[in-house]
Structure 1
């Protein structure tokens, strides 16, 4: 028994972490976690009972059952008991669905699945203009936020295991889900529907914040980009304009108004680069600029490996300074 417990330890390590459905940090995830635990416990009990009965009839008391007892066992164990158990679990599971689609407390997000990144727009409760912050979903703790989901090319599926269930995203159709996170922290979300070559690298950060901190962050995100603060960053801004990056990317407050790729207005303050592919250090930006095609197969952005190393570092300094 001790050896079995030790052998199970590496597997138990997967039961925690910021991308685990077994470590719920939201009201919706907690409901699904409870449902899973009850189903798992029931499966264990059923396994023990059925195998115990089999062992008893084949090893302890291997005699033929009377026909009446055999029919009763088949009717109760094979029809009545499974029907009651499965029916109860089905009703309970379906009863959770309305909560997953309840209206939010005011905050509404529009999330579009792109190839392979996430376009995220926050619609403030006061009806102001949307705030764009791609590849990152930030939510206030203790409040229910409503997410309107769609896709631009193929079917995607948004899933933040620690906060709630998953929801598919379809081109030309809007699906709606809502989440009520309870524990501030940083969690990992992922596309849960195979969508192409870089599906495995289509992740995002889900950051739960205290309501006051969230409001301050949202107000900061609505501002224009910060002007380059160093000579190297100013040179990077010139390279950004010279290479035509503004044709695909927007940097609010500048001439860059592209919409094909992610908005870069505050890219330096995000927790990941390339939809979870890299961090946001200077080396990460420089690596992404030169090797984006290798880091994210079939992505639409070209690699700028023709730039010299000083030029890549200057461009990385400019992007890192967009906080």
Structure 2
């Protein structure tokens, strides 16, 4: 009986323990906003455990305890105290604590940086804004921020309701069509933190991830400068051929690549796609083979996404196209 009970307890605890580590760990906070959220969670865990233990003790006393204890538990006053008074006191205390925590993490100083993030089925459009709130450049599915600085995210939706959630840096916040919600995030150390759309938004919802990359301020400023520049010219003849394949197959109707004839705005901006860590909303590593596989089999890799599979591109042309995109750093 004991081994079976331990196995059941382990299965019950597994979901909670899974939130303590990993790239999307809910309780492994890496910033002040997430730390406050984790503090509320630990308080709830501790309170829930104490209440559960108290209920078990009361059940044991009612069933097997001495007669005096059973008489006390059966009194009307005890029933009202435990059934009404304790819940009211507990929930009131949690409400006060939550309100105080929200007030403590409310932004008081202007952010060091403002970034607009728009959720679309099923990817993330990202615009870095200047001091006047105007877009400077665009990227996709990856947000870079400087370590130790508060960043404000302007969250919007281009179609249906999405929810932005990067648990190691902040709580989740809905992205609602026609509205702009604001969220502050801050990373206390360099690292890569995985996020996810937390509101079901259609067929490929489960594959709508993103990454926040926190870099030292000097490295972040260098990255910002590179992003403002147009796409680098092809490095060799194969890359030049890949650029021509890109334009000849109409890819520029959906994608923008600064410095070329590709002026599309429907899909992700690819001006510096080679410098990103992942492809396909955080699901594939950014390397030449993944790029080629995605182009040729987009509907197989991520069913129902808006990009068709370009099966008509010959192998040599596909390799050249992947080489050119990989070089857009």
TM-score by length of 2: 0.92
Say yes or no: does 1:322 pair with 2:328.
yes
Deviation string for 1:203-261 (max 9, x for gaps)? 01111111221111111111111111021111000000100111110011111111000
Say yes or no: does 1:56 pair with 2:56.
no
Match of 2:187 in 1: 181
Q: How much does 1:72 deviate? A: 2.0
Match of 1:311 in 2: 317
Deviation string for 1:53-75 (max 9, x for gaps)? 21012112256854896122122
1:15/1:148 CA distance change after superposition, 3 Å: same
Query: What pairs up with 1:218-257 in 2 under 5 angstroms?
Result: 218-257=224-263
Corresponding residue SS for 1:215: helix
Q: How much does 1:96 deviate? A: 3.2
Q: Is the 8 A contact 1:149 1:175 kept in 2?
A: yes
Match of 2:98 in 1: 93
Hey, what's the Cα distance between the residues in 1 that align with 2:285 and 2:246?
Answer: 20
Q: How much does 1:131 deviate? A: 2.2
Hey, what's the Cα distance between the residues in 1 that align with 2:25 and 2:72?
Answer: 49
Hey, what's the Cα distance between the residues in 1 that align with 2:20 and 2:99?
Answer: 25
Hey, what's the Cα distance between the residues in 2 that align with 1:108 and 1:168?
Answer: 18
Match of 1:152 in 2: 158
Query: What pairs up with 1:1-323 in 2 under 5 angstroms?
Result: 4=6, 8=10, 11=14, 12-61=17-66, 65-66=70-71, 70-98=75-103, 102=107, 104-125=110-131, 129-323=135-329
Q: Is the 8 A contact 1:101 1:177 kept in 2?
A: no
Corresponding residue SS for 2:297: helix
Q: What RMSD over aligned residues (CA atoms) do the two structures have, in Å?
A: 2.3
Of residues 185-194 and 99-108 in structure 1, the stretch that sits farther from structure 2 once superposed is 99-108
Q: Is the 8 A contact 1:101 1:176 kept in 2?
A: no
Q: How much does 1:94 deviate? A: 2.9
Corresponding residue SS for 1:96: helix
Corresponding residue SS for 2:279: coil
Of residues 24-33 and 51-60 in structure 1, the stretch that sits farther from structure 2 once superposed is 51-60
Hey, what's the Cα distance between the residues in 2 that align with 1:92 and 1:286?
Answer: 52
Corresponding residue SS for 1:172: coil
Corresponding residue SS for 1:181: coil
1:234/1:178 CA distance change after superposition, 3 Å: same
Hey, what's the Cα distance between the residues in 2 that align with 1:68 and 1:268?
Answer: 68
Structure 1 residue runs of 5 or longer lacking an equivalent are: none
TM-score by length of 1: 0.93
Corresponding residue SS for 2:140: coil
Hey, what's the Cα distance between the residues in 1 that align with 2:37 and 2:19?
Answer: 17
Q: Is the 8 A contact 2:209 2:281 kept in 1?
A: yes
Q: How much does 1:79 deviate? A: 1.5
Q: Is the 8 A contact 2:257 2:270 kept in 1?
A: yes
Hey, what's the Cα distance between the residues in 1 that align with 2:106 and 2:314?
Answer: 50
Q: How much does 1:106 deviate? A: 2.8
Of residues 125-134 and 185-194 in structure 1, the stretch that sits farther from structure 2 once superposed is 125-134
Corresponding residue SS for 1:176: strand
Q: Is the 8 A contact 1:291 1:303 kept in 2?
A: yes
Q: Is the 8 A contact 1:100 1:177 kept in 2?
A: no
